[in-house]
Amino acid sequence: MGHSAAVWDYRAATEITKDWNGIDQVLLRTPRGSSARVSLHGAQVTSWRNEHGEELLFTSSKAIFKAPKAIRGGIPMCFPQFGNCGSLEQHGFARNRMWAIDENPPPLPGNDSSGKSFIDLVLKSSEEDMKCWPHSFEFRLRVALAADGDLTLISRVRNINGKPFSFSFAYHTYLLVSDISEIRIEGLETLDYLDNLFKKERFTEQGDAITFESEVDRVYLSSPNIIAVLDHEKKRTFVIRKEGLPDVAVWNPWEKKSKSMVDFGDEEYKQMLCVDGAVIEKPVSLKPGEEWTGRLQLSVVPSSFCSDRLGLDRSGL
Ligand SMILES: O=P(O)(O)OC[C@H]1O[C@H](O)[C@H](O)[C@@H](O)[C@@H]1O
């Protein structure tokens, strides 16, 4: 693009535009041409592109672009509930709320934002939310795009309530893949998981890396902090690094469920896979004044880069 990193103005590379509902969205760009878009609606990352302009996140061609519904794709935020495991609406309310730009967020300890395009968003408990979830909170999200194209999301939830509360959480990450039957996940083998297709019963993953030949809706428990999603056909690997997010939800609706979702194409299950850094089995508990941080970093590398260099535990394979 004719810019060198040394003179690249990261502030100027952060642009506010409008999304399909006329709602502000933030465009983040890097000198080499990677980009990401974040809508203030739900703080949903709706696009992440590499330096060649190729989209890396899935969005359904049938997605319904009508607030307050979250669109089918990108990275919706599930908070303060994942799935239907509580009294709230599926995946909680944060993905359906309007977030604000946080002009002056409290500093993020140990986080170096130099050389990154980033935006800070904030969601505070509203009176309406207090009716169904009576806890005052502040939820801050930083979305940062590094010069090498890595996308980082840092969530901070603070209890500003007089009493403790607990919540579950997920970055519901819709990865765009070439063909689901060519995909395998490394890093979850031998773990225990809760299977949503069997009333959340607990099983132990057997054998090798995870591959896909039917519907999958699972929560892998106490997972390592680095997971790789290998796309054999594209010869590239999504690397998911996480902190404060012990669980990994894995979802592909496959053929039958795809047909039952109005905002999802019948064949689109072949091009997507949700792999979510999450806190589900043991919800986060915060005392008054306490704060929780959950960090997710997404990268794409050529498949030849894996797995030893990523430090994945290959023992037993
Ligand atoms: O349709 P949504 O509310 O966005 O949920 C989509 C999916 O999210 C998660 O992966 C759940 O485990 C699935 O059971 C659910 O179908």
For residue 207, the model assigns a pLDDT of 73
* Distance from Cα 91 to the centre of ligand 1, integer Å: 8
* Distance from Cα 72 to the centre of ligand 1, integer Å: 10
Cα–Cα distance measured from residue 142 to residue 297, given in angstroms and rounded to the nearest whole number: 12
Residue 153, domain member (yes or no): yes
- Give residue-wise pLDDT tens across range 286-297: 999 999 999 999
Residue 2, domain member (yes or no): no
Lowest mean pLDDT among 1-10, 45-54, 99-108, 148-157: 1-10
Residue 7, domain member (yes or no): no
For residue 208, the model assigns a pLDDT of 83
Domain encompassing residue 26: 14-310
Helix (H) or strand (E) holding 59: none
Lowest mean pLDDT among 44-53, 109-118, 249-258: 109-118
Does the ipTM surpass 0.85? yes
* Distance from Cα 84 to the centre of ligand 1, integer Å: 9
Per-residue pLDDT at 305 exceeds 70:
no
Residue 3, domain member (yes or no): no
Contact call for residues 13 and 25 (beta carbons, < 8 A)? no
Cα–Cα distance measured from residue 271 to residue 175, given in angstroms and rounded to the nearest whole number: 8
Per-residue pLDDT at 313 exceeds 70:
no
Percent helix, strand and coil across the chain, each to the nearest 5: 10, 45, 45
Query: Tokens representing 214?
Result: 């039917």
What's the structural domain count of the chain?
Answer: 1
Residue 47, domain member (yes or no): yes
For residue 204, give the CATH number of its domain: 2.70.98.10
Query: Tokens representing 313?
Result: 């535990």
Residue 6, domain member (yes or no): no
Amino acid at 16: I
Ligand 1: does its nearest atom lie under 6 Å from the Cβ of 251?
yes
Cα–Cα distance measured from residue 292 to residue 290, given in angstroms and rounded to the nearest whole number: 7
- Give residue-wise pLDDT tens across range 188-236: 999 999 999 999 999 999 978 899 999 999 999 999 999 999 999 999 9
Residue 145, domain member (yes or no): yes
Contact call for residues 165 and 159 (beta carbons, < 8 A)? yes
Residue 189, domain member (yes or no): yes
Contact call for residues 174 and 253 (beta carbons, < 8 A)? no
